[in-house]
Structure 1
Amino acid sequence: MARSKEFEENVVLDKAMKLFWEQGYEKTSMSDLVEHMGIHRRSIYDTFTDKRTLYLKAIERFESRTDAKLAAGVKQAQTAKEALQFIFDFMSKGEEGAPPGCMFVNSAVELACRDEEMDAKAVDAFEKVERLLIEIVYWGQQNGEFADRYEAQELAEYLHNALTGIRVMARTSVPMEKLARISTLTMRTLERE
């Protein structure tokens, strides 16, 4: 008779996600995962197969949570500027109780150059953010909030580059005030002359 799981899979996956997010893939050992997730090594292997598969599931969990938070924040915005400000604030400050920075950016820096699957996941996630930014910039250009001297796609690529830098800096001891200044100046590039 098979034993039933004595843990909620999403709960332990969230714990693994936060540990990987904080420490990275290479630095996180199976022993770290056993201790942090609060389940037996055998349960990790039975449920997630191996460390790499667990990591990929953690990345997917991070992506779905982040996508949902971005979509909800943008949907609540009354203007394109508010939507963009929400994204910059979210990327700078993160979410309460979560490690700083972005798990995708961390993963791209650590693994993309030698892991094709991780590279593909990171590129896909970055393109998804750029598509969201294109929609917001286009919205702002259509209603007169943003200048239209550049194409929405060009501006989205520029904004995404700034956001990526902010997500890297958010992992350091750089003061939040500096990240806020960078965000403000970056957003000002969209203003009409």
Structure 2
Amino acid sequence: MPRVKEFDVDEVLLKAVRLFWEQGYEKTSINALVEHLGIHRRSLYDTFGDKHQLFLQAIERYNEYLSGQFHSGITRADSTRQAVRFLFDFMIEGYDDKPPGCLLVNMAVEVAPWDQEVDMKTLESFDKVEKLLVELIQRGQESGEFVTNRDASELAENMHNTMLGLRVLARTSANKEKLHRIADSAISLLDV
């Protein structure tokens, strides 16, 4: 008879997200995971597989979290411009009580160069954000809120690149006023 899990898998996965986010993949040992997650080593392996498989699942869970946050913020926005502003502010101000920066950006730098699966997952996530920006920009162009003589895809590429840079700067002691000025500059491209 199989044993019943004595822990909430999603709760444990969220703890893993946080630990990988704070420490990075390489610095996070199995012992650190077992201690931080509050489960036995055997339970970790039985439920999630090895460290790498747990990490891939943590990335998926993080993506789900981001998608939910983006959807919620965009849905509450009164205008397309406000929706775009929300995305930039979210990148700058952070994620509730989460570490600064972005797990995906960290992993794109630390792990993706040598791990094809992580590279694919980060690129897929980045692509989703860029497509979301394209949709928002096109909506703003159709409503007359944004300039129409610029290609929405090119604007989205530029804006997403700025967002990635902001996620990196958010991990440093950079002044948030500076980060908001950078965001303002990127958003102003929609008016040129």
Do the structures match in fold with TM over 0.5? yes
Could you tell me the TM-score, scaled by structure 1's length? 0.96
Tell me the equivalent position of 2:124.
124
Distance 2:68 2:2 in 1: 35
Distance 1:15 1:96 in 2: 14
Tell me the equivalent position of 2:176.
176
Write out per-residue CA displacement over residues 5-49 of structure 1, whole angstroms, 9 at most, x where no aligned residue: 111101111001100011111110011111111111111111111
Alignment of 1:50-129 (within 5 A): 50-129=50-129
Distance 1:89 1:15 in 2: 25
Q: Tell me the CA shift for residue 81 of structure 1.
A: 0.5
Tell me the equivalent position of 2:142.
142
Tell me the equivalent position of 2:29.
29
Write out per-residue CA displacement over residues 142-164 of structure 1, whole angstroms, 9 at most, x where no aligned residue: 11221123100000000000000
Which residue type is aligned with residue 94 of structure 1?
G
Write out per-residue CA displacement over residues 42-61 of structure 1, whole angstroms, 9 at most, x where no aligned residue: 11111111000000000000
Indicate the SS of the match to 2:191. coil
Indicate the SS of the match to 2:154. helix
Tell me the equivalent position of 1:186.
186
8 Å Cα contact 2:155/2:189 also seen in 1: no
Distance 2:26 2:35 in 1: 17
Distance 2:140 2:49 in 1: 46
8 Å Cα contact 2:18/2:99 also seen in 1: yes
Distance 2:175 2:46 in 1: 43
Q: Percent identity?
A: 51
Which residue type is aligned with residue 163 of structure 2?
L
Write out per-residue CA displacement over residues 144-187 of structure 1, whole angstroms, 9 at most, x where no aligned residue: 22112310000000000000000011111112111111111111
Tell me the equivalent position of 2:154.
154
Which residue type is aligned with residue 154 of structure 2?
E
Aligned length, in residue pairs: 192
Distance 2:23 2:145 in 1: 40
Indicate the SS of the match to 1:189. helix
Could you tell me the TM-score, scaled by structure 2's length? 0.97
Distance 2:179 2:5 in 1: 43
Which residue type is aligned with residue 47 of structure 2?
T
Which residue type is aligned with residue 3 of structure 2?
R
Which residue type is aligned with residue 25 of structure 1?
Y
Which residue type is aligned with residue 31 of structure 1?
N
Runs of 4+ with deviation above 2 angstroms? none
